[in-house]
């Protein structure tokens, strides 16, 4: 069973540079054709400061941390038995190409179902830009199959 004492655990925060080329590659990989996601002048004409990160890109910010999935080491888990249960984003601002985003993440809940056969880890992340504006938050639930 996962150690519930780890509820509240904070992972080391880290800073991610949001690169324009990376956002274009991301847009291409999801088949996005709206030019605001690849072309600065189209983004500005639509009222954005520059190219915005698409709505789910906050999750990719998480993956730029020092470890792909920091819970693996914290709980000594086998990556092959982890499933992504659910994901939630709240948008308080916008992440743009050229931003420097500070990611801070912590464990907010651990619970189990089916007599412990499935365990759930709920992790909350906060994204703050170079102007100290909180631009978004996310909550993800990971499922561990015992």
Partner 1 sequence: MSYISVGTEIPALELPPITRTTLALYAGASGDHNPVHIDSDVARQAGMPDVFAQGMLSMAYLGRVLTNWQPQAKLRKFSSRFAALTQLQDVITCSGTVVELVGKSDELLARCEVRAVKANGELTLIGEALVAI
Rule CB under 8 A: choose which of 41, 87, 130, 146 binds partner 1: 87
What are the respective helix, strand and coil percentages of the chain, to the nearest 5? 25, 35, 35
Asked if 88 interacts with partner 1 (CB under 8 A), we say yes
**Complex with partner 1: residue 62 or 128, whichever CB lies closer:** 62
**Complex with partner 1: residue 3 or 88, whichever CB lies closer:** 88
What is the rounded distance in angstroms from the CA atom of residue 139 to the CA atom of residue 50? 26
User: In 3-state terms, what secondary structure has residue 59?
Assistant: helix
User: In 3-state terms, what secondary structure has residue 67?
Assistant: coil
What is the rounded distance in angstroms from the CA atom of residue 56 to the CA atom of residue 69? 17
* Count of residues of this chain found to bind partner 1 when the rule CB under 8 A is applied: 35
Residues 16-55 that bind partner 1 (CB under 8 A): 22, 25-26, 28-32, 34, 36, 46-48, 52, 54-55
Asked if 56 interacts with partner 1 (CB under 8 A), we say yes
143 contacts 113 by C-beta, under 8 angstroms: no
User: Which residues make up the interface to partner 1 (CB under 8 A)?
Assistant: 22, 25-26, 28-32, 34, 36, 46-48, 52, 54-56, 59-60, 63-64, 68, 79-81, 83-91, 94
């Amino acid at each position: 069973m996962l150690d519930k004492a780890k509820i509240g655990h904070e992972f080391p925060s880290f800073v991610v540079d949001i690169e324009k080329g990376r956002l274009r590659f991301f847009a291409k990989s999801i088949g996005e054709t709206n030019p605001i996601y690849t072309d600065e002048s189209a983004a500005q004409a639509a009222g954005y400061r520059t190219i915005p990160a698409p709505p789910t890109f906050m999750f990719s910010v998480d993956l730029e941390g020092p470890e792909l999935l920091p819970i693996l080491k914290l709980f000594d888990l086998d990556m092959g038995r982890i499933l992504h249960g659910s994901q939630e984003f709240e948008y308080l601002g916008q992440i743009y190409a050229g931003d420097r985003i500070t990611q801070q993440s912590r464990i907010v809940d651990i619970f189990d179902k089916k007599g412990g056969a499935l365990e759930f880890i709920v992790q909350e992340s906060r994204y703050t830009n170079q102007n100290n504006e909180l631009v978004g938050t996310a909550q993800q639930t990971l499922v561990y199959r015992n």
